[in-house]
Amino acid sequence: MTERRAILSGSTFEEQIGYARAVVDGDWVHVSGTTGFDYATMTISADVVEQAEQCLRNIGTALTEAGCTFADVVRVRYLLPDREDFEPCWPTLRRHFGEIRPAATMLVCGLSDPRMRIEIEVYARIRGAITG
């Protein structure tokens, strides 16, 4: 039977809405759409680049708890309300994904809180996992 484990970040959104920051299912790690909130303080910067950096810190924490790193990411999805905000984030995104080159998609859409300027979700595969 495949192991399934939820990873919680302590975000109040996870409790209020009923989801996990990430789910480990066998050797796959599914990280939920993650915004730029600092979950310890539940604050968010107004700056989109700072939000992208915080998104990636939050995602990195979930990946570490799942037993993998950014190097294991195979898919990334960026969601932004304003397409003009995407390009300023490119240097931050390139630092994390430039060497590993995951499949990627950027979507322009509304987010659940008007303070949110970017949301990022990733899928990773734990290296060395035994598949059956």
pLDDT in tens, 10-25: 888 888 999 999 999 9
In a domain, 131, yes or no: no
* 130 is a domain residue: no
The first and second tokens of residue 87, run together, are: 């390009």
With a pLDDT cut of 90, the percent of the chain lying above it is 83
91: domain CATH number? Answer: 3.30.1330.40
pLDDT at residue 81 above 70?
yes
Q: What is the mean pLDDT of the chain?
A: 93
Domain assignment present for 87: yes
Fill in the DSSP letter of residue 129.
Answer: P
Secondary-structure percent of the chain, ordered helix, strand, coil, rounded to 5: 35, 30, 35
Which residue has 């924490």 as its token pair?
Answer: 61
Q: Angle at CA 51, nearest 5°, toward 80 and 21?
A: 80
Question: Considering the domain boundaries, does residue 8 fall inside one?
Answer: yes
